[in-house]
């Protein structure tokens, strides 16, 4: 392997340490402690683990946790009432509705009810609009984590050819918008893209967010390119990304592993968003 590894675990820890120090300084200066509210509906074990992880991580950096766990029998109106209550609660800087919700609840519609100033997942249409227009706002966590990894490795984004494979609202589109805001020349690929390998070979920065195990091969990678693998795929041989790591690492200059690359950055950026939301709320009150 000739590529240098991007250690997402270490960078996420760095970010979390920085946030802990910033939260303490913020509180010491007389400001209200930032608060993160999670809303979990139903008893899906994976969702419960994710919510627990987010609450634990926020407690570790000094963010106050507000946990609302509703039974699977909760009605949409009940969830709406909780979201309205949290929107109005000054102790709550950020609100996160854990998806997926049970089938009888339209999770993506309910997400739109979250106040844009508290949208720490950065997924409401208002947050997406602010990002598309290049206006200040809360950015989606995984895409923001991708940019943070590039920044902390001093990867030149301005003027770079960036190719994003995947155009989901969750990852592909916001990553592309963030790279554009960094003045990269961005190409977004998807399932109808013609000659995907050739397009990928143009990239100085190649982002894979497809959800197909090891689809991006080493000979799709331009020598020396930075390869960021967002994919998380569970296979019989364990967790793998969307990039065939072995072959890509022979060609790339920098590469993220899976696991331990982009994954750990998501929660770190959620904490960053919660602190940013608390600061913005204080500035506007």
Residues that bind ligand NDP (CB under 6 A): 142, 165-168, 170-172, 189-193, 196, 209-212, 230-233, 262-263, 266
CB of 10 to ligand NDP, least distance (A): 16
Nearer to ligand NDP, 189 or 278 (CB): 189
CB of 194 to ligand NDP, least distance (A): 11
Nearer to ligand NDP, 122 or 166 (CB): 166
Nearer to ligand NDP, 95 or 270 (CB): 270
CA distance 165 to 80: 35
By Cβ distance, which residue is nearest to ligand NDP?
168
CB of 267 to ligand NDP, least distance (A): 9
Ramachandran region, residue 196 (left: φ > 0; alpha: ψ -120 to 50; beta: rest): alpha
Contacts with 255 (C-beta within 8 Å, 6 or more apart), sequence order: 3, 4, 5, 6, 226, 227, 229, 243, 245, 248, 249
Distances (CA, A) of 89 to 23, 86, 94, 179, 220: 19, 5, 10, 34, 50
Active site residues: 54, 98, 121
What the block records as the tokens of 109 is: 């519609």
Nearer to ligand NDP, 56 or 91 (CB): 56
CB of 163 to ligand NDP, least distance (A): 11
Q: Identify each DSSP E strand in 167-212 by its residue range.
A: 185-189, 205-208
Name the pairing type of β-strands 226-229 and 185-189: unpaired
CB count within 10 Å of CB 69 equals 15
CA distance 1 to 8: 18
CA distance 159 to 16: 30
Nearer to ligand NDP, 87 or 193 (CB): 193
Three-class SS state of 52? helix
CB of 188 to ligand NDP, least distance (A): 9
């Amino acid at each position: 392997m000739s590529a240098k590894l991007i250690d997402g675990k270490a960078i996420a820890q760095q970010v979390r340490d920085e946030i802990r120090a910033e939260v303490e300084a913020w509180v010491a200066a007389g400001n209200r402690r930032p608060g993160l509210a999670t809303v979990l509906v139903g008893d899906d074990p994976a969702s419960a683990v994710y919510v627990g992880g987010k609450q634990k991580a926020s407690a570790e950096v000094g963010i106050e946790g507000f946990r609302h766990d509703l039974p699977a029998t909760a009605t949409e109106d009940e969830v709406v009432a909780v979201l309205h209550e949290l929107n109005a609660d000054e102790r709550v800087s950020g609100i996160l509705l854990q998806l997926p919700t049970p089938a009888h609840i339209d999770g993506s519609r309910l997400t739109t009810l979250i106040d844009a100033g508290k949208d720490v997942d950065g997924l409401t249409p208002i947050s997406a609009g602010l990002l598309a227009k290049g206006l200040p706002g809360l950015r989606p966590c995984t895409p923001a984590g991708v940019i943070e990894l590039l920044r902390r490795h001093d990867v030149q984004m301005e003027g770079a050819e960036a190719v994003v494979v995947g155009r989901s609202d969750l990852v592909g589109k916001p990553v592309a918008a963030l790279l554009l805001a960094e003045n990269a020349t961005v190409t977004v690929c998807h399932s109808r893209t013609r000659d995907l390998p050739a397009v990928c070979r143009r990239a100085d920065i190649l982002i894979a967010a497809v959800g197909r195990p090891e689809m991006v091969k080493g000979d799709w990678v331009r020598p020396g390119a930075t390869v960021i693998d967002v994919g998380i795929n569970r296979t019989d041989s364990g967790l793998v990304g969307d990039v065939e790591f072995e072959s890509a690492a022979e060609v790339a200059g920098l590469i993220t592993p899976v696991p331990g690359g982009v994954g750990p950055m998501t929660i770190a950026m959620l904490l960053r968003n919660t602190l940013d939301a608390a600061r913005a709320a204080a500035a506007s009150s």
